[in-house]
Structure 1
Amino acid sequence: MIVVMAPEGLENRHRMDEPAPEDKTQAPGLSVCVIAYNSGPTLRACLASLAAQTFTDFETLVIDNASPDAGDAAIAAEFPGVRLVRNQANLGFAGAGNQAARLARGRWFVLLNPDADADPDWLAELVAASRRHPGVKAFTSRQLMADQPGVLDGLGDVMSGYGIPYRGGYLGPDPGDTAEGEVFSPCGAAMMIDRALFLDLGGFDEQFFCYGEDVDLGYRLQLAGEPTVVVPRAVVRHVGSASSGGRKSEFAVFHGTRNRFWVVAKDTPALLLPLVVPLHLAAVVYISLRRPNRPHAGLVWRAFLAAMKGLPQVMRSRARVQKGRRVSAWRIARAMTWDPRDLTGRRPVIRPLRPTPPGGA
């Protein structure tokens, strides 16, 4: 196992010590990154599932994101060939993901959550999909609930016209091996993207820290005319929010609420803003007033204030993103769902594949 010690402090995140570059002619086809933070036993199951993959032309990077518990590094040491990076500061999922992309050597950059374990043919199915669709540069998986194999955790991420993203089919019945198609965004828990494209787009937005950075990336893929394809045969089993205390933890609610607003403000084309922003605010109020969510109403308000505080930086990012937009606002609107029943029922939205030239959109 190769161990890299990253310097302390966020200001050093782009100047990390790392092993001498290996012969690029021997670079693997894929670089699989696992970002760990107090992941415990789920990390062992995750790495064991990678060790059992039928497709073997890949490297595994584990980013220990300054876990207070030393157990994550010890678990990574159990698996020969794993490249372990031990951060001295928590860079969040976004910062650690970007760090991994810079350290990776494969053409394809693959993310797998430490609380997810993959079927043995997971990588093989993603690679096969990339060969079937040579013009597509982003793929996402079929995610099942780890403790309920017949229940979906997600089948691609969906963006609603309310500016509320969700995992398609979450907690619904697993439809099995359905047809491949385009979804709005990959889910960061189990995705594959062309690494050069990821870096060209600026990677994850590190202002987000955690939650929503994958949807923001997916939105920027949409704006660039780069489709994301869901591969139902590529299956992982996901615990979900194991490192952050669960979906209803204060951490998850705060960052999820704040970052959803930032996605709307940053990525929505100008022609759609007058419609999406009021719908988004109305949806947040409605969701907050529902009986199960009322205990978090104050937290949601604090998240909104934090979103306003960070808005100037978001708007600077918006200017760059919108300047590079390659598709019409109408095309973005068609990639979203405007049916409120999709949002309330968390229904998957998978559209037929559009012809894409081999070089991309």
Structure 2
Amino acid sequence: MSERNELPVVSVITVNHRGVDDTITCLRALRDELDYPADRLELICVDNASGGEAAGIRAAVPEATVVESAENLGFAGGCNLGARDARGQVLAFLNNDARPDPRWARSAVAVLRAEPTVGAVASKVLDWEGEHIDFVDGGLTWFGMGYKRHAGETDDGSHDAPRDVLFGTGSALFVRAELFGALDGFDERFFMFYEDVDLGWRLNLRGWRVRYEPDSLAHHRHHSSMAGVASSREYYLLERNALAALYKNVSDETLAKALPAALALAVRRSTARGEVDPTQLEMTRRPTGPESDTVDISRDTLAGVLAIDRFVELLPSLKRSREVEQQARTRSDADLVPLMRKAMEPAYPLPDYLAAHEALVDAFDLNGVFGRSRRVAVITGDAITERMAGPAIRAWHTADVLAREHEVRLISVNSRVSVTDSAFPVFQTRPRDLTTHVEWADIVILQGHVLEMVPGLKHLDSTKVVICDVYDPMHLELLEQGRDTDDERRAKDLQGVTRILNTQLRRGDFFLCASERQRHFWLGHLASLGRLTPSVYDDDPTVRSLMSVVPFGLSSVPPRRTGPAIRAAETGIGSDDKVVLWAGGVYSWFDPLTLLHAVHQLSERRDGVRLFFLGMKHPNPDVPEMGMADRTRQLSDRLGLTDEQVFFNETWVPYDRRQNYLLDADCGVTTHFEHVETTFAFRTRVLDYLWAGLPVVTTDGDSFADLVRREGLGLVVPAEDPRALAEALERVLYDEDFAAGCRDRIAEVRQRFTWESVLAPLTEFCRDPRPAADRLEASAPLVRTPPLKRSEVVRRDIDLVREYLESGGPKELARRATGRLKRLVDERLRGRG
């Protein structure tokens, strides 16, 4: 089947009102620059009573269908008029002062085709120059005002992960045509402003999803259509339409509290905006002489009052619309709170207004109505400083992603916490003080030994939702790490770590691991501890709602150089040298020794090979240096490689400067031994190689080796084979075509490993957190096994006697009988207790 037949017809609708130059520029860009088959594209321009501009548009872009309206229908009415005669299966709305990226339509259509539950696709919208954000996410306040989150911020690539949103901006939005018709399109009573918020709200209430797709990109000259229009008119529309959207879409229970509070807040917003003295009519403020019946009030103040007046005028028709929406809804208000992002956001930074907002929220218990943001405590035992190791990095990004929807605290029990800038509060606390943070939180996410520090949280009858991040199989690491200690201590340490992990596995409501291999490993643990019960299995036969894969992630912002690194005069590594980067620490479970031998072999036939170890000492001084680091230095010296072909950074590179080192490298390497730790390990720093587009050379045996081999991201070699490793390094470094092919595939694969993507299972769980199915109270079997009749008991006992005699004779029968008598006695004693 040809591509033409696989793609739906897209009808692009733009509305013109006295903006003919912008409109022609927009239509020509759609016609000439869009990467979409011309015969599958329909251009529709609605001229909103512009006074003769329609003829100019027809002449400039004859391919467009121009629909003329005798009156100004506003944005909402204009779009609906264009949609009525559109022939496309997909409707695309684009402001006349916007221009699309070539893949604007194709990327949005791909989402609609791939995900049948997506009813609309919200484009990413930047300013005309492509530097600042216009739309990447939508928020909604409890009083009905929608807003563009991150608007005006610099576009640094951090919003380039798709996500579900409450609404998209009408300046660049795709909707299934049949669905748009079923919803009667945009609400024309809005005229302009919030008609897109209302549409997205209604879509979500009916069970449809609105999906933000960053590859569907458009550029917008924000509000050029409002040039010359007084701000009071905009305020009026925003106030009126917010009330209308709120009235139509919230449930009866929510409306009873939210609407009176929203009306009162609209008045206070207007008086605060216009700096009106609210006490001027108090009897105690009467003048001594005659007073006037008139007072000067700005139109900015009047906007709110008139908006309420017009809202009242619209109530009869809005009531009918409300009945339709409430009957059609399939989702609750609470279901949509996460999509509102920050529902309790005051929105305006005016002191008098903020005081009223706080008073109304308290008086009407609006936190209870809309559900305050969930409180999430992310707790780590690692140092949180500019030099962070894997556990702290993972905790940091977990907090960062969850803070976009929840109230999050990142807490470390390590004494080394130093943070200058974060979107969430970071606390350093003593283990004995953790209880305060745990009591504050609705959800606790923990790593390592943290659960041992909060005894009350360990109890199985605790109602707190606990998420255990077991991406690091500590007991398997200890098998290798403990080789440097005496036998007795090694055995005790392993026993202690295993006990700590078992406690987590018995207590947790949700578990995170780093790979499918790990998931299989941990499922075995859970089964042995009795956690894979019928209730857990029946609730979710995949058991992914209990144990889900959350790999280590990488930033969605591409690495950008901020300073010199490896290729600097003081390092002795030149601009033409080929740099092999070891990006993590040097620990006992790694095999840098084979790598040194491989580099030694390769240097005998290639002059410019350089190996750089990024960090020899762990950033947390509490973690002692392992023997492998010293053995690595000694072997390098013995082979004559140190400061010639091999270079050691003895400290630890700050996390926010590591990209400079990655960008100086030609490939990334990780080598390890063949043992059980390798089988279930997840080499976190390998993600940095993908982030920087570095081909990877790795030893076989772990999950990353599987990924590199499957996706063609580099080369996989056998363990402890210096010759094979040298040949792999040589090919990656000197075969330019091969390396370029690896980089192309890395560019595709790394999108799957952004923190936003890998943390999706955790994000979903936190939106609807609940205890694991086997930890619910009153979870006794609904149907019990009926007790045996006396004759059946006798028959069973006779069968057992025969079985014991056949299997072990009289001794086996006596042993079994003794055991049974002991159990009966124990049961009697427990019954009396």
Q: Where do 1:210-359 residues align within 5 Å? A: 210-245=192-227, 249-281=231-263, 283-285=265-267, 287-290=269-272, 295=298, 296-338=300-342, 340=344, 343=347
Q: What RMSD over aligned residues (CA atoms) do the two structures have, in Å? A: 2.9
1:71 to 53, 65, 81: 53
1:205 aligns with 2:187: yes
Q: Where do 1:98-137 residues align within 5 Å? A: 98-137=80-119
Mapped partners of 1:284, 1:333: distance in 2: 22
- What is the aligned partner in structure 2 of residue 37 from structure 1? 17
Mapped partners of 1:130, 1:186: distance in 2: 14
C-alpha change, 1:39 and 1:348, in structure 2 (3 Å) is farther
Give deviations 1:2-21, integer Å, cap 9, x for gaps: xxxxxxxxxxxxxxxxxxxx
- What is the aligned partner in structure 2 of residue 173 from structure 1? 154
CA contact 1:240–1:247 (8 Å) conserved in 2:
no
Shift of 1:185: 0.8
C-alpha change, 1:166 and 1:73, in structure 2 (3 Å) is farther
Q: Where do 1:183-202 residues align within 5 Å? A: 183-202=165-184
Report the residue type matching 1:262 in the other structure.
A
Mapped partners of 1:262, 1:142: distance in 2: 27
C-alpha change, 1:348 and 1:204, in structure 2 (3 Å) is farther
Mapped partners of 1:247, 1:171: distance in 2: 21
Give deviations 1:18-61, integer Å, cap 9, x for gaps: xxxxxxx9x96111001111113211221122121011221100
C-alpha change, 1:348 and 1:258, in structure 2 (3 Å) is farther
Q: Where do 1:24-63 residues align within 5 Å? A: 29-51=9-31, 52-56=33-37, 57-63=40-46
- What is the aligned partner in structure 1 of residue 139 from structure 2? 158
Mapped partners of 1:233, 1:292: distance in 2: 41
TM-score by length of 1: 0.82
Mapped partners of 1:289, 1:182: distance in 2: 36
Mapped partners of 1:188, 1:266: distance in 2: 19
Mapped partners of 2:322, 2:344: distance in 1: 27
Q: How many residues matched? A: 328
Shift of 1:291: 5.2
* Structure 1 residue ranges without an equivalent (≥5): 1-24, 355-361
CA contact 2:269–2:304 (8 Å) conserved in 1:
no
Shift of 1:196: 0.2
CA contact 1:265–1:318 (8 Å) conserved in 2:
yes
Mapped partners of 1:227, 1:247: distance in 2: 34
Report the residue type matching 1:89 in the other structure.
E
C-alpha change, 1:252 and 1:137, in structure 2 (3 Å) is same
- What is the aligned partner in structure 2 of residue 4 from structure 1? none
Structure 2 counterpart SS, 1:64: strand
Report the residue type matching 2:47 in the other structure.
D
Structure 2 counterpart SS, 1:163: coil
Mapped partners of 1:175, 1:340: distance in 2: 27
Shift of 1:336: 2.0
Greater mean alpha carbon deviation, residues 151-160 or residues 215-224:
151-160
- Greater per-residue strand proportion: 1
Mapped partners of 2:119, 2:229: distance in 1: 29
Shift of 1:120: 1.4
CA contact 1:164–1:280 (8 Å) conserved in 2:
no
- Greater per-residue helix proportion: 2
Shift of 1:314: 0.9
Shift of 1:330: 2.1
Mapped partners of 2:144, 2:261: distance in 1: 7
CA contact 1:158–1:348 (8 Å) conserved in 2:
no
Shift of 1:186: 1.7
- What is the aligned partner in structure 2 of residue 7 from structure 1? none
Mapped partners of 1:83, 1:170: distance in 2: 33
CA contact 1:241–1:247 (8 Å) conserved in 2:
no
Give deviations 1:162-198, integer Å, cap 9, x for gaps: 3221122221222435110111112111000000001
Mapped partners of 1:212, 1:293: distance in 2: 26
Structure 1 counterpart SS, 2:135: strand
Mapped partners of 1:95, 1:341: distance in 2: 30
TM-score by length of 2: 0.37
Greater mean alpha carbon deviation, residues 207-216 or residues 55-64:
207-216
C-alpha change, 1:190 and 1:248, in structure 2 (3 Å) is farther
* Structure 2 residue ranges without an equivalent (≥5): 277-297, 350-402, 406-755, 765-833
Structure 2 counterpart SS, 1:150: coil
Give deviations 1:120-148, integer Å, cap 9, x for gaps: 111121122223323312101111122x5
Give deviations 1:199-256, integer Å, cap 9, x for gaps: 0111111222222211111111011011100111211111123223378633322222
CA contact 1:38–1:72 (8 Å) conserved in 2:
no
Mapped partners of 1:248, 1:341: distance in 2: 26
Mapped partners of 1:227, 1:246: distance in 2: 36
Shift of 1:348: 7.6
- What is the aligned partner in structure 2 of residue 9 from structure 1? none
- What is the aligned partner in structure 1 of residue 487 from structure 2? none
C-alpha change, 1:344 and 1:300, in structure 2 (3 Å) is closer
Greater mean alpha carbon deviation, residues 47-56 or residues 191-200:
47-56
Mapped partners of 2:342, 2:229: distance in 1: 25
C-alpha change, 1:311 and 1:97, in structure 2 (3 Å) is same
Greater mean alpha carbon deviation, residues 44-53 or residues 285-294:
285-294
Structure 2 counterpart SS, 1:271: helix
CA contact 2:138–2:168 (8 Å) conserved in 1:
yes
CA contact 2:54–2:66 (8 Å) conserved in 1:
no
Structure 1 counterpart SS, 2:134: strand
Mapped partners of 1:338, 1:32: distance in 2: 32
CA contact 1:244–1:251 (8 Å) conserved in 2:
no
Shift of 1:115: 0.9
CA contact 1:155–1:348 (8 Å) conserved in 2:
no
